[in-house]
Amino acid sequence: MTPGPRPPAAGAEAARLRPPVAAAATAVAQPRLRQSESVGQRRMLDLHGGSAADLEVAPNLWAGVGLGRGGAGTALVGSHEEVADRIEEYAAAGIEEFVLSGYPHLEELYWFGEGVLPLLERRRAWARPLPLLGAGRDGSAVPFAVGAQR
């Protein structure tokens, strides 16, 4: 995919994520990451080239997280609608499971749960999971949590 003009929401979100990927951390991490024999790590390096310039590698897909740490370092950035659109595109391409995380973790959990999931649910692209058998009255699947509610 070739990135088009960066939507303001995606650009603002990428700018917000940049401080955790400080230049000093990048300078320390990049030489070590370049020594990795991991094919995945090499692909990440190919995406960003160790540079903080032009990190939107596809619409709403930002590769800057990989500058300062190893492993998968891309992030979906943008508005609730843009992130929901990208998730639907990946699902249409055959991706069935997603491992999602965000920075800071708790704030991103709420941002995603209150903004993206309702959109995906309205679009019938996601459904709330059914309660697990044997779950507590509150839907908790942690067996010992049921006994703790007296």
Q: Given a cut of 70, is residue 1 above it in pLDDT?
A: no
144 lies in a domain?
no
Average pLDDT over residues 108-127: 94
- pLDDT value for 150: 35
Domain total of the chain: 1
Q: What's the whole-model pTM score?
A: 0.67
- pLDDT value for 89: 96
Mean pLDDT lowest among 86-90, 115-119, 128-132, 146-150: 146-150
What tokens were used for 99?
């491992």
Cα 14 to chain centroid distance, Å, stands at 12
| 3-state DSSP assignment of residue 58 | strand
148 lies in a domain?
no
d(CA 56, CA 59): 7
- The answer to whether 98 touches 90, Cβ cutoff 8 Å, is yes
29 lies in a domain?
yes
d(CA 81, CA 59): 13
Average pLDDT over residues 94-118: 88
Average pLDDT, the chain: 75
26 lies in a domain?
yes
75 lies in a domain?
yes
Cα 27 to chain centroid distance, Å, stands at 23
3-state helix, strand, coil split of the chain in percent (to 5) is: 50, 5, 45
Average pLDDT over residues 28-42: 80
Q: Given a cut of 80, is residue 78 above it in pLDDT?
A: yes
How many helices (H) and strands (E) the chain has is answered by: 7, 3
- pLDDT value for 128: 86
Q: Given a cut of 50, is residue 6 above it in pLDDT?
A: no
With pLDDT > 70 as the criterion, what percentage of the chain qualifies?
64
138 lies in a domain?
no
Q: Given a cut of 50, is residue 3 above it in pLDDT?
A: no
47 lies in a domain?
yes
d(CA 75, CA 73): 7
Average pLDDT over residues 90-103: 88
135 lies in a domain?
no
Confidence of residue 133 (pLDDT cuts 50, 70, 90): low
Average pLDDT over residues 87-94: 95
What is the domain range of residue 54?
8-122
